[in-house]
């Protein structure tokens, strides 16, 4: 894996699994995170064959923040834009479900902490860096983007 260096941007994703994900149970969240890890690290064609889960943090529907890939290393979450870019995934499919208030608050809290720790100049949704080729991080997050991404 490549070193991340000094992060200057953050990109928000959703998992976007077809069934969505709304559980607040830690055991269910652990299984959900393990399924993402398997998808990212299993050899192709089953998985992506990456060295680790692609995101640096996950935020669950109960508002818990989970540390994933070490910030020492560049993530694997936006094609051609992973340099100096912290990847945050909101667990759920926000084209199907609303964003729970606890999850929204935790996302804002995480962004505030990252801005304190690093010289972050930009917060993107995945689609903003992908010419809208994806709808990630989902309609319900994009609808709250001004409140989510403002300081």
- Pick 56 or 119: Cβ nearer Zn ion: 56
| Dist CA 76 CA 37 (whole Å) | 12
136 binds Zn ion (CB under 5 A): yes
Scanning 2-10, 25-33, 109-117, 124-132 for contacts with Zn ion by CB under 5 A, the matching segment is 124-132
Cβ atoms of 123 and 112 closer than 8 Å: no
Contacts of 7 by beta carbon, 8 Å cutoff, 6+ apart: 71, 84, 85, 86, 114, 118, 120
128 binds Zn ion (CB under 5 A): no
Binding residues among 22-81 for Zn ion as defined by CB under 5 A: none
- Pick 56 or 126: Cβ nearer Zn ion: 126
> What's the min distance (Å) between Cβ of 27 and Zn ion?
25
Secondary structure of residue 10 in the 3-state scheme: strand
CA angle 62, 35, 139 (to 5 degrees): 55
Out of 9, 13, 56, 69, point to the residue binding Zn ion (CB under 5 A). Answer: 13
> What's the min distance (Å) between Cβ of 133 and Zn ion?
10
x/- binding map, residues 89-108, to Zn ion, per CB under 5 A? --------------------
123 binds Zn ion (CB under 5 A): no
Dig out the tokens for 55 from the structure: 């995101």
CB atoms within 10 A of CB 113: 12
> What's the min distance (Å) between Cβ of 81 and Zn ion?
11
Out of 9, 56, 126, 128, point to the residue binding Zn ion (CB under 5 A). Answer: 126
CA dist 136 → 48, 69, 117 (Å):
18, 20, 26
Q: Which residues make up the interface to Zn ion (CB under 5 A)?
A: 13, 126, 136
């Amino acid at each position: 894996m490549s070193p991340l260096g000094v992060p200057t941007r953050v990109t928000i994703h959703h998992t976007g699994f077809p069934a969505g994900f709304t559980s607040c149970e830690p055991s269910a969240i652990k299984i959900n995170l393990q399924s993402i890890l398997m998808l990212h690290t299993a050899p192709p064609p089953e998985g992506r064959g990456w060295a680790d889960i692609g995101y640096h943090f996950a935020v669950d529907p109960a508002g818990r923040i989970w540390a994933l890939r070490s910030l020492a290393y560049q993530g694997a979450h936006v094609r051609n834009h992973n340099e100096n870019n912290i990847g945050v995934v909101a667990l759920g499919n926000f084209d199907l479900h609303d964003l729970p208030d606890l999850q929204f608050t935790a996302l804002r809290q995480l962004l505030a902490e990252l801005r304190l720790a690093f010289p972050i100049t930009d917060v993107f949704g995945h689609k903003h860096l992908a010419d809208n080729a994806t709808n990630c991080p989902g309609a319900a997050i994009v609808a709250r983007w001004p409140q989510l991404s403002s300081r």
